[in-house]
Amino acid sequence: MSTELLFAILYTFAFGAILATGEILHTILKVNTEYTRKFAHSAASLLSLTFPLVYSSYGYVLVMGTIFFFVLLIAQHKDLLQSINDVSRKTYGGILLPVAICGTFVISVWLNDTKLFIIPILMLGVSDSLAGITGVAFGSRVRKIIIHNLRLNKTYLGSSVFLASSLLITIFTLHWFVGNFSTPTITAAVTVAFGAAIVEAFSSKGLDNFTVPFTTLLLLSMFNASL
């Protein structure tokens, strides 16, 4: 058995354990679904950050992503995995997460640029989760974003948290890869963070799990020549 196949099996069990832990938290400990969703979302995203350490190609990651996409799709249609699906609103966030993780990893391998995977997934695992938890905890007490007659299903507080954390993530991750805090690095970080925050604010029904990482990847790739 190859090392990559062994890790694929271990990753599959680990992602399954994340889902199982969420079910225990929700069904036995009665943790609110909004929090168990964010737990699964963050844990899966952060675990996937180790992919570049294991895989130099994307084959196994693509297979794992496809498996979990269909597992989550079936669970959504069959009303299973209550720790993720026990919400009143229509959301596609769960099934889009493996698409985002696999898609960004595939593109980063194609372009031979690991930061095109690390930064988008950090935003998913950290920034998006922090904004979501803030919205759940304080959503009823803070103002929703209203632009002219358009009322977004996001709060100013949640979007501010997303922007601040995304900016920190982008600045320090770019510094890690590039090795300096030059003007092009700071410019790229600010542009990426604001672009991702704007897209996140306008994305509803869990679509930010798709729009945020791919917008981040696109903006980062635009600055590659100057970094």
Give the pLDDT confidence of 175-227 residue by residue, as tens digits: 999 888 888 899 999 999 999 999 998 888 889 999 999 999 999 999 886 77
Handedness of CA 70, 203, 188, 166 (dihedral sign): negative
Structure tokens at 130: 């922090």
pLDDT reported for residue 51: 97
* DSSP, res 143: P
Structure tokens at 112: 């031979």
Q: At what angle do helices 208-223 and 93-110 cross, to 10 degrees?
A: 20
Phi then psi dihedrals of residue 147, to 5 deg: -120, 110
Residue 141 has pLDDT above 60, yes or no: no
Q: How far apart are CA 97 and CA 190, in angstroms?
A: 25
Average pLDDT of the residues in 106-118: 96
pLDDT band at 139 (very low <50, low <70, confident <90, very high): low
Phi then psi dihedrals of residue 90, to 5 deg: -80, 125
pLDDT reported for residue 153: 72
Hunting for tokens 């959301």 — which residue is that?
91
pLDDT band at 131 (very low <50, low <70, confident <90, very high): confident
Residue 105 has pLDDT above 60, yes or no: yes
Give the pLDDT confidence of 40-91 residue by residue, as tens digits: 999 999 999 999 999 999 999 999 999 999 999 999 998 899 999 888 778 8
Quote the domain boundaries for residue 150: 3-226
* DSSP, res 144: E
Query: What percent of the chain stands above pLDDT 90?
Result: 70
Number of domains in the chain: 1
Query: What percent of the chain stands above pLDDT 70?
Result: 93
Entry pTM: 0.92
Residue 132 has pLDDT above 60, yes or no: yes
Residue 167 has pLDDT above 90, yes or no: yes
